[in-house]
Amino acid sequence: MRTDLSATDPLTAEQLSEWVRDARQRTMDLVVDLTDEQLVGPLLPTVNPLLWEIGHLSWFSERFVLREALQESPILPYADAIYDSGAIPHDTRWRLRLPSREQTLAYMAEVRDRTVARLLDPHCTDVVRHLALYAVLHEDVHTEAITYTRQALGYPAPQLPGLSGTTAADVGAGPLPGDVDIEGGTHLLGALRVDPFAYDNEKWAHPVPVAPFSMARAPVTQAEFAAFVDDGGYTRPELWGAGLGWLQESGALAPIYWRRRENGWQREHFDQYVDLEPHRPVSHVCWWEADAYCRWAGRRLPTEAEWEVAAGGEPAGGTFADVRRERPWGGQPTAPAHANLEWRADGPVDVAAHPEGDSAFGVRSLFGNVWEWTASTFSAYPNFESDAYGDNSVPWFAEGRKVLRGGSWATRARYVRVPYRNYFQPGRRDVLAGFRTCAR
């Protein structure tokens, strides 16, 4: 079965139906072990009550596929009043009278089964298929969010059935120092109209000049970031620039899940502490922390155009060929050898792992392990066109969010693509985000 979106051949009805089932099963597997109390959890600004979140996912699919595209009657007549994320303020979600766990799971199953039946109908339209795919990818975003919500709340690591592909060589692959030099040129940043799928904030490709640059072959590791912390990085105002206000307000002295012990640093991994793994990428750092590290190290964050060139371009005799590879490694479908995705390792692996996933320039781990902060602020491309789901991008363009690229260990293989733009507030530390650097 196809595992990602990058292939040029369209998904068959059977493949898309299997993705609908698979996405819904992943959601259920991520919450099956939690108590009813844990499914609600405390009110925090960076999480949702999980009982609300899993119901919202079914509402999203029902709204766009069954109700809007197919004009079917609502399964839950009051669903808009409790699950519409655009209309219900964040804090209100803890005060709603939600269906019970059993009722929510039944609603999830019914929406899934109706959607699959409509997709397998020989008269199914392209509009229905597109919106069903959109709903699958929306669910993929949320299953990653459920993963880092479990981390934020100190719940045990999820035990997901049927996952494999991580080897001892991946976990203990070691560091990958050094830069690669990439010549300048002009890059078409964004999605092409011939792409099989694109989000609205990727529309449309437009030429961007890119000066020659040197990019690290791997993301910044835990050992490298620990050196910044141990050198007083969080206590030196001159390193923080515009992030000084965040630093003072947060009171941060280290990454959010780190603690110091006599024998060194440890990090919290869900409900337990482990010693830092020196060659794994640092994770759960915000944009301000990444920016301060760069200032300390005499480096900088890449722009999203530079990241796209490094991931999808190819060398071409003194410049780069803007060939727009489907994946950093070329045209092969995503396999476990290429990237640490899909929860296979239950966390990041060493940055030297997955040499089969190198880009044409020799840059590694551009997909998987950790999302990578870029220097770019999330804004509309010059020829932006909004999607049917207007809340996907437009409300966030004016917030000063920063763009992340590449995907994490909890990202689905079908979801990650070279032009995909993730975006969070620069102070978010709960997401599975790290960064790589460029020479100044």
Task: Establish if 384 belongs to a structural domain.
Answer: yes
29 domain residue, yes or no: yes
| Listed residues 101, 126, 152: the one ending a domain | 152
CATH of the domain at 365: 3.90.1580.10
> What would the pLDDT profile of 131-175 be if each residue is shown by its tens digit?
999 999 999 999 999 999 999 999 999 999 877 656 655 778 999
Does 237 map to a domain? no
Q: Which two tokens stand for residue 292?
A: 């301060």
Query: Is residue 74 scored above 80 in pLDDT?
Result: yes
Distance separating alpha carbons of residues 425 and 429, to the nearest angstrom: 9
Q: How many CB atoms are located within 10 Å of the residue 203 CB?
A: 22
pLDDT at 322 (0 to 100): 76
Instruction: Based on the fold, state whether residues 53 and 187 are members of the same structural domain.
Output: no
Among 40, 28, 37, which Cα is nearest to 93's?
40
Residue 413, in any domain of the structure:
yes
Domain co-membership, 362 together with 308: yes
Contact 364, 355 (CB under 8 A): yes
- 241 within a domain of the structure (yes/no): no
Q: Is residue 243 part of a domain?
A: no
Q: What is the CATH number of the domain that holds 112?
A: 1.20.120.450
Q: Would you say 412 and 143 are in contact if contact means Cβ atoms under 8 Å apart?
A: yes
Q: Are residues 19 and 104 in the same domain?
A: yes
Same domain, 61 and 207: no
Residues 86 and 208 in one domain: no
- Residue type at position 61: S
116: left (phi over 0), alpha (psi -120 to 50) or beta: alpha
pTM: 0.96
Is the domain of 114 the same as that of 86?
Answer: yes
User: 82 and 117 share a domain?
Assistant: yes
For residue 273, give the nearest of 259, 253, 252 by alpha carbon. Answer: 259
Query: What average pLDDT does the segment 267-275 reach?
Result: 97
pLDDT digits (tens, 9 = 90+) for 14-38: 999 999 999 999 999 999 999 999 9
pLDDT at 250 (0 to 100):
97
d(CA 368, CA 430) in angstroms, rounded, equals 17
In percent, the amount of the chain with pLDDT more than 70 equals 97
Single-letter amino acid code for the residue at 5: L
**140, 175: one domain:** no
State the Cα angle at 268 between 265 and 269, rounded to 5°.
Answer: 130
For 367-377, what is the mean pLDDT?
98
Domain limit, last residue, from 121, 152, 183: 152
Structural domain includes residue 183: yes
Residues 185, 104, single domain; the answer is no
Q: How confident is the model at residue 324 (pLDDT cuts 50, 70, 90)?
A: confident
Q: Are 41 and 154 in contact (CB under 8 A)?
A: no
Residues 173 and 301 in one domain: yes
Range of the domain at 390: 168-221+294-439
Domains in the chain: how many in total?
2
Among residues 126, 152, 178, which one ends one of the domains?
152
Which segment of 93-97, 158-162, 205-209 scores lowest on mean pLDDT? 158-162
Same domain, 306 and 433: yes
Residue 181, domain member (yes or no):
yes
Mean pLDDT of 326-332: 91
Q: 216 by DSSP, 3-state: which? A: strand
Dihedral of alpha carbons 107, 113, 116, 122, sign: negative
Contact 283, 432 (CB under 8 A): yes
Instruction: Clarify whether residues 212 and 111 are in a common domain.
Output: no
